[in-house]
């Protein structure tokens, strides 16, 4: 481990600024033997909800020309099993974990934070792209007021834990969301989550996904993510974590140049599981490039 790559995010110090993004990395240990988990700064777990979720029925993944559409539906084991089994397994393996948390309504969110607090979680990433059933299904993270509400409650509930807000690009002004998260007490923001898209089965004359719309990740969204990081990093004083479409070492370097403090690799894990370690190798050799003026 190179000491000069150690990265501070809020109250947490990671051994380097390369993370595995929430979703493709599962609970982390699924990639043991494929990804050199000892080389990455942390694994961001798949999003955990208070109650277990079976996820969406039917097709969940669809490749596109420039990425991957997913309609997983936050499938996960729920807070009780995650904090009793999954998180301790990561800790025993010596792997730093950033716990992704999500909820569709306020009561579940409150109970989820209470469970995270009892588990003494060090770092959380709030998945603010979940639909809010109390607001007609609108994504929590598309509304600056809701972003502030959810971040502030996490800040109050989790004490000294580092709180990261993951921002949706499916909003009128992502910079306003970042400013709202910062003002509410977030230690950092991640930009971006998936971009809304869809696909159609021509032969069957119907949408590919039962829910019609899905989340697009992969190389196609990288310019959107890079632009978001560039703008947000110039508007806030807290660290920005770049995520979205990184598929090469050069892509990761672009995010650092745009102003990111750290980066997350997601969809690329499916076809290049060696990429995270390759990024770390490059940073150890040449250092983290400073942001452009």
More confident residue, 33 or 223: 223
pTM: 0.96
Residues 6+ apart with CB under 8 A from 163: 10, 124, 126, 151, 154, 155, 185, 186, 187, 188
Length of the chain in terms of residues written:
293
For residue 133, the model assigns a pLDDT of 47
State what percent of residues in the chain have pLDDT above 70.
96
Q: What average pLDDT does range 1-24 have in this prediction? A: 92
pLDDT bracket for residue 25 (50, 70, 90)? confident
How large is the average pLDDT for residues 118-124? 97
Domain regions of the chain by residue span: 3-55+74-195+218-286
Given 115, 121, 130, 178, the catalytic residue = 130
β 162-167/42-44 pair status: unpaired
**pLDDT tens-digit readout, 196-230:** 999 999 999 999 999 899 999 999 999 999 999 99
Secondary-structure class of domain 3-55+74-195+218-286 per CATH: alpha beta
Check pLDDT > 50 for residue 157.
yes
pLDDT tens for 246-293 read: 999 999 999 999 999 999 999 999 999 999 999 999 999 999 999 999
Residue 134 pLDDT class (50, 70, 90 cuts)? low
Q: Structure tokens of 149?
A: 């509400």
* Band of residue 4 on the pLDDT scale cut at 50, 70, 90: confident
Is 238 a residue of the active site? Answer: no
Cα-based torsion angle of the residue sequence 248, 256, 130, 182 in order, rounded to the nearest 10 degrees: 180
What's the N-to-C CA distance of the chain in angstroms?
A: 29
| Residues 107/79/269/154 CA torsion (nearest 10 deg) | 50
| Residue 31: band (very low, low, confident or very high) from pLDDT cuts 50, 70, 90 | confident
């Amino acid at each position: 481990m190179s000491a000069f790559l150690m990265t501070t995010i809020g109250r947490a110090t990671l051994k380097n600024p390369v993370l595995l993004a929430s979703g493709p990395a599962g609970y982390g240990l699924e990639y043991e033997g494929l990804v050199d988990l000892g080389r990455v700064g942390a694994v961001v777990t798949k999003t955990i909800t208070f109650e277990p979720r079976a996820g969406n029925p039917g097709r969940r993944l669809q490749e596109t020309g420039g990425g991957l559409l997913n309609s997983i539906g936050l499938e996960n084991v729920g807070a009780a099993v995650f904090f009793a089994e999954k998180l301790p397994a990561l800790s025993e393996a010596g792997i730093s974990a950033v716990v992704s948390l999500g909820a569709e309504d306020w009561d579940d969110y409150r109970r989820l934070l209470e469970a995270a607090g009892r588990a003494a979680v060090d770092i959380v990433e709030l998945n603010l792209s979940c639909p809010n059933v109390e607001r007609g299904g609108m994504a929590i993270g598309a509304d600056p007021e809701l972003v502030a509400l959810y971040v502030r409650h996490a800040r109050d509930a989790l004490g000294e834990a580092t709180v990261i807000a993951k921002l949706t690009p499916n909003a009128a002004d992502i910079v306003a969301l970042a400013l709202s998260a910062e003002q509410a007490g977030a230690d950092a923001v991640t930009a971006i989550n998936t971009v809304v898209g869809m696909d159609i089965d021509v032969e069957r004359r119907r949408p590919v996904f039962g829910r019609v719309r899905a989340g697009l990740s992969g190389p196609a969204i990288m310019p959107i993510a890079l632009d978001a990081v560039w703008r947000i990093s110039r508007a806030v004083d807290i660290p920005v974590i770049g995520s979205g479409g990184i598929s090469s070492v050069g892509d990761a370097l672009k995010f650092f140049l745009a102003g990111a403090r750290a980066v997350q690799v997601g969809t690329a894990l499916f076809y290049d599981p060696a990429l995270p370690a390759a990024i770390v190798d490059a940073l150890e050799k040449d250092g983290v490039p400073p942001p452009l003026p």
